[in-house]
A and B are shown apart, each in its own frame.
Chain A
Amino acid sequence: MSLSELLRLTGASGDEEQVRAYICRALQATDVDVAVDNIGNLIATKNAPPGTPMPTPRIMLTAHMDEPGMIITSIHSSGMLTFKPIGALDAATLLGSHVLVGDKGIPGVIGGKPIHRLQESERRNIPRMDSMMIDIGAADEKDAATLINIGDYAVFAPASGSWNLAGTLHGKALPSRVGCAMLLKVLALELPVAFTAVFTVQKEVGLRGAQVAAYRINPDIALVLDAHPAQDFPGVDAHHQEAMLGAGPVLNAGDNLGMDVPLTSWLARVAATAGIPVQWQAKPQLKRETSVMHTTRTGTRTATLGLPCRYLGSPYQMMSQSDIDYAQQLITDALMRLAKGESLPC
């Protein structure tokens, strides 16, 4: 298993098969029980080793497998493809991007009218997504139809080449695949605690997978691994920067759709004990899996470990390796505490 392989996979919401199959393979030779539910969540159950002394709360960890993408709505007579967005795509970054279409990953580009032909108003405005098409180089509609079906999904092409900053990751689908890689690492550990790791589907179109998985598993505590928007770039006032790359995982007191400040504060204390830096933020209205899980059935304690990420929804997102390493350590420490029967503050 490697993160770089996960990042190369395509998996728009509703089309997570490649990612799911990859993770299934990665778990094949392990002691983890693997199941797939009817919406496509991959549910990995890790049992506690025999002789584990005390019962612990039912713990669920999630990371989502899907990324924002596109779905092909028609093949134009020119052989170009019209599409609609799936999830939160940054329209401003679409023009001039490389994409991969369908299961076979047919390469294409999104081009547009050359600047020379633009009206003054067109130069100033972000072009509408419904005016863009994907060009796969097909001669005409018939030619394109040999490669593409209507309803095929498309995603940004993976980043190529290396990055000039050691310790920084970049590319598409980082929020999803980094979380998946982290969950796989947790599953590989021998911890004296049972937990269920869910690789969820359809987060980007409305937190769909997490909702049904939480209903099925009915956890006492659910921890989510996801990106947290970082805006530590020029032109943004300090109080709007949200989070910084490299300053540690984000604990968000403002996850007010899944608000559980006591649990989040407990995670901060776990981090402090281990010398793990965290960024304490208060950003509400983030679309987090916690927001559907905390009101599942009779209620669930939930918190998110946020990984600072710049340029969400674009083909070149950025994360810091050190944030990921710290988050990995934090989640392990938290599980160890729960294994020892530490009770959570209310």
Chain B
Amino acid sequence: MDTWHALQQLATTGGPSGYESPVARLVTQMWQPYVDVIRTDALGNVIAHKQPTRSGGIPAPAVMLATHMDEIGLMVAQVEENGFLRVVAMGGIDLRQICGKEVTVHGKTAVAGIVQAVPAPFRDDKEPDHIPTWPDLFIDTGLSTEELRQKVQVGDVVTFSPPCKRLHGDRVAGKSFDNRACIVSSLVCLQRLARVSHAVHVHAVATVQEEVGLRGAITSTFSIAPQLAIAIDVGHGDTPGQPEHDTITLGKGPAISLGPNIHRGVRDRLIAVAKQEQIAWQNEILPGHSGTDAWAMQVSQAGVPTAVISLPLRYMHSTVECVDLADIAAIGRLLAHFLADLEPEEVWRWANVSV
């Protein structure tokens, strides 16, 4: 399956935090052919395990690749008269952008709707310049009171339903590329790993509930107890009005991040592999909280060496997120070469207590 086809399928499937199971099923289908065991854990994380295919002479360490599969969304807080729903945000929604957007309410059957807000003069603060938020947001479904009550109840989740489109060249636009695009990178990595040998256990994980607090990463890292963990997530792409040094550039390959959340040895190794395989890469500075699963993975149990690889993405958390398909594939290649070349001794050295 090519990257574009896989991304389209993943991105157009609705799976807000805590309700990722439709995406989980899709990820399982996509990854299964390339791994030994694939399971879903207590919170819904998809954990794929691939045994080492060559011996490194010593026990094989476990390497975890984490890509989150949840997306930001809304939840029905109240079903009102005349087809209206009051909603609350799930995850970091950009409230400036949601009015007028098409959504799908995942009730007994899927119900289409439009997000709108109570006009400023009728809001508590009456400020036309302020962005409406809960409780002033609602969805108009156009259904009758009775019909809506039959189909939708409090607690149903809502996802955005924009088109997923190909722009010029390898650029594409749609929702939830954060972080389904990186799930495609993991797929590319697993496909390549199936054709080469590697000396480490590979655990590819599609995590749940990243957008509401890295919750899936907390539990999946605990259960895998890896010796090395890499988060693959999106990073802010170059956008007018944003300083160049604070963004990463679309089409210029994976960003190999650095900062307190990143183990320097692992980063150096990733850079060495990129250079050796002539994969273009770029820097991304993360001064504290990386905003990725790696932040939780690093402090799991007695600590895990972690790295972050970022896919350049524009307009994060909008319905028109933009990425470059070549970058998605390049991350997959980088990871596959990294894992294939990795010697157990090196991973144990990073992970162990040493003098």
Residues A212 and B303 in contact in the complex (CB < 8 Å), given A73-B245, A73-B285: yes
The answer to the question of B80 belonging to the interface, with a C-beta cut-off of 8 Å to chain A, is no
The answer to the question of B298 belonging to the interface, with a C-beta cut-off of 8 Å to chain A, is yes
Within 8 A of B (CB), among A266-293: none
Q: How does the 8 Å CB contact mask read for A101-135 relative to B, with 1 for contact and 0 for none?
A: 00000000000000000000000000000100000
Are B350 and A150 touching (Cβ within 8 A)? no
The answer to the question of A14 belonging to the interface, with a C-beta cut-off of 8 Å to chain B, is yes
Task: Report B-chain residues with C-beta under 8 Å of the C-beta of A216.
Answer: 301-303, 353
Q: Could you tell me the distance in whole angstroms from the C-beta of A222 to the nearest C-beta in chain B?
A: 15
Are A34 and B355 touching (Cβ within 8 A)? yes
In the complex, residue of chain A having the shortest beta-carbon distance to the beta carbon of B267: A151
The stretch of A2-10, A48-56, A174-182, A201-209 that contacts the partner chain: A201-209
Are A202 and B260 touching (Cβ within 8 A)? yes
The answer to the question of B29 belonging to the interface, with a C-beta cut-off of 8 Å to chain A, is no
Task: Report A-chain residues with C-beta under 8 Å of the C-beta of B353.
Answer: 35-38, 43, 216
Q: How far is the CA of A34 from the CA of B355 in the complex (A)?
A: 7
Within 8 A of B (CB), among A130-172: 130, 150-151
The secondary-structure label for the interface of chain A is mixed
Q: How far is the CA of A212 from the CA of B246 in the complex (A)?
A: 30
The answer to the question of B351 belonging to the interface, with a C-beta cut-off of 8 Å to chain A, is yes
The answer to the question of B82 belonging to the interface, with a C-beta cut-off of 8 Å to chain A, is no
Residues A38 and B260 in contact in the complex (CB < 8 Å), given A151-B285, A206-B289, A208-B298: no
In-complex Cβ contact of A84 among B287, B304, B350 (8 A): B287
Task: Report B-chain residues with C-beta under 8 Å of the C-beta of A26.
Answer: none
Are A37 and B303 touching (Cβ within 8 A)? yes
Q: How does the 8 Å CB contact mask read for B248-264 relative to A, with 1 for contact and 0 for none?
A: 00000000001111010
Task: Report B-chain residues with C-beta under 8 Å of the C-beta of A62.
Answer: none
Task: Report A-chain residues with C-beta under 8 Å of the C-beta of B244.
Answer: 74
The answer to the question of A320 belonging to the interface, with a C-beta cut-off of 8 Å to chain B, is no
The answer to the question of A211 belonging to the interface, with a C-beta cut-off of 8 Å to chain B, is yes
Q: How far is the CA of A151 from the CA of B298 in the complex (A)?
A: 19
Are B283 and A150 touching (Cβ within 8 A)? yes
Q: How far is the CA of A251 from the CA of B98 in the complex (A)?
A: 49
Within 8 A of B (CB), among A178-218: 202, 205-206, 208, 211-213, 215-216
Residues A151 and B302 in contact in the complex (CB < 8 Å), given A35-B353, A73-B245, A74-B244: no
The answer to the question of A39 belonging to the interface, with a C-beta cut-off of 8 Å to chain B, is yes
Q: How does the 8 Å CB contact mask read for B277-310 relative to A, with 1 for contact and 0 for none?
A: 0000001010111000000001101111100000
Q: How far is the CA of A205 from the CA of B289 in the complex (A)?
A: 7
Are A37 and B302 touching (Cβ within 8 A)? yes
The answer to the question of A57 belonging to the interface, with a C-beta cut-off of 8 Å to chain B, is no
Q: How far is the CA of A208 from the CA of B289 in the complex (A)?
A: 10
- Number of A-B residue pairs, CB cutoff 8 Å, is 84
The secondary-structure label for the interface of chain B is loop
Are B299 and A86 touching (Cβ within 8 A)? no
Task: Report A-chain residues with C-beta under 8 Å of the C-beta of B121.
Answer: none
Q: Could you tell me the distance in whole angstroms from the C-beta of B253 to the nearest C-beta in chain A?
A: 16
Q: Could you tell me the distance in whole angstroms from the C-beta of B298 to the nearest C-beta in chain A?
A: 7
Are A206 and B245 touching (Cβ within 8 A)? no
In the complex, residue of chain B having the shortest beta-carbon distance to the beta carbon of A85: B287
Are B303 and A38 touching (Cβ within 8 A)? yes
Are A215 and B354 touching (Cβ within 8 A)? no
Q: Could you tell me the distance in whole angstroms from the C-beta of B215 to the nearest C-beta in chain A?
A: 16
Q: How does the 8 Å CB contact mask read for A14-47 relative to B, with 1 for contact and 0 for none?
A: 1100000000100000000011111101010000
Task: Report B-chain residues with C-beta under 8 Å of the C-beta of A86.
Answer: 259-260, 287-288
Task: Report B-chain residues with C-beta under 8 Å of the C-beta of A24.
Answer: 355
Residues A38 and B355 in contact in the complex (CB < 8 Å), given A14-B260, A73-B245, A206-B289: no
Q: How far is the CA of A13 from the CA of B163 in the complex (A)?
A: 43
Q: Could you tell me the distance in whole angstroms from the C-beta of B134 to the nearest C-beta in chain A?
A: 26
Task: Report A-chain residues with C-beta under 8 Å of the C-beta of B304.
Answer: 38
Q: How does the 8 Å CB contact mask read for B216-253 relative to A, with 1 for contact and 0 for none?
A: 00000000000000000000000000011110000000
The answer to the question of A82 belonging to the interface, with a C-beta cut-off of 8 Å to chain B, is yes
Are A212 and B299 touching (Cβ within 8 A)? yes
The answer to the question of A63 belonging to the interface, with a C-beta cut-off of 8 Å to chain B, is no
Are B303 and A39 touching (Cβ within 8 A)? yes
The answer to the question of A60 belonging to the interface, with a C-beta cut-off of 8 Å to chain B, is no
Task: Report A-chain residues with C-beta under 8 Å of the C-beta of B301.
Answer: 212, 215-216
Task: Report B-chain residues with C-beta under 8 Å of the C-beta of A36.
Answer: 353-355
The answer to the question of A87 belonging to the interface, with a C-beta cut-off of 8 Å to chain B, is yes
Residues A151 and B258 in contact in the complex (CB < 8 Å), given A37-B353, A205-B289: yes
Task: Report B-chain residues with C-beta under 8 Å of the C-beta of A151.
Answer: 258-259, 283, 285
The answer to the question of B97 belonging to the interface, with a C-beta cut-off of 8 Å to chain A, is no
In the complex, residue of chain B having the shortest beta-carbon distance to the beta carbon of A66: B260
Are B259 and A82 touching (Cβ within 8 A)? no
Q: Could you tell me the distance in whole angstroms from the C-beta of A187 to the nearest C-beta in chain B?
A: 16
What are 15 A-B pairs at a CB distance below 8 A?
A34-B355, A35-B355, A38-B303, A38-B305, A38-B352, A39-B303, A41-B303, A74-B244, A86-B259, A86-B260, A205-B287, A206-B288, A211-B299, A212-B299, A215-B302
Give the interface of A toward B (CB within 8 A).
13-15, 24, 34-39, 41, 43, 71-74, 82, 84-87, 130, 150-151, 202, 205-206, 208, 211-213, 215-216
Give the interface of B toward A (CB within 8 A).
243-246, 258-261, 263, 283, 285, 287-289, 298-299, 301-305, 350-355
Known: A151-B283, A213-B303. 17 other contacts (CB 8 A): A36-B354, A37-B353, A38-B304, A38-B352, A38-B353, A39-B305, A71-B287, A84-B287, A86-B260, A86-B287, A150-B283, A208-B260, A208-B298, A208-B299, A211-B299, A216-B302, A216-B353
Closest 5 CB pairs of A and B: A14-B260, A74-B245, A212-B303, A216-B302, A205-B288
